[in-house]
Amino acid sequence: MCIYGIELLADNIAECRVNVLEVFAEYLNLDETNDIYHAASYVLFQNLVHGAALTMRDQDGHPITFCE
Nearby residues of 41 by Cβ (< 8 Å), 6 or more positions away: 17, 21
1 occurs within a structural domain: no
| Other Cβ atoms within 10 Å of 26 Cβ, number | 9
43 occurs within a structural domain: yes
Read off the pLDDT of residues 17-67 as tens digits, 9 standing for 90 and up.
999 999 999 999 999 999 999 999 999 999 999 999 999 999 999 999 887
Bridge partners, residue 6, by sequence? 49
31 occurs within a structural domain: yes
Length of the chain: 68
5 occurs within a structural domain: no
Give yes or no for a contact between 64 and 50, defined as CB atoms under 8 angstroms apart: no
**Position 1 confidence tier, pLDDT thresholds 50, 70, 90:** low
38 occurs within a structural domain: yes
Give yes or no for a contact between 4 and 53, defined as CB atoms under 8 angstroms apart: no
33 occurs within a structural domain: yes
22 occurs within a structural domain: yes
Structurally, the chain folds into a number of domains equal to 1
User: Residue 23: which domain range?
Assistant: 12-48
Instruction: Output the pLDDT for position 2.
Output: 81
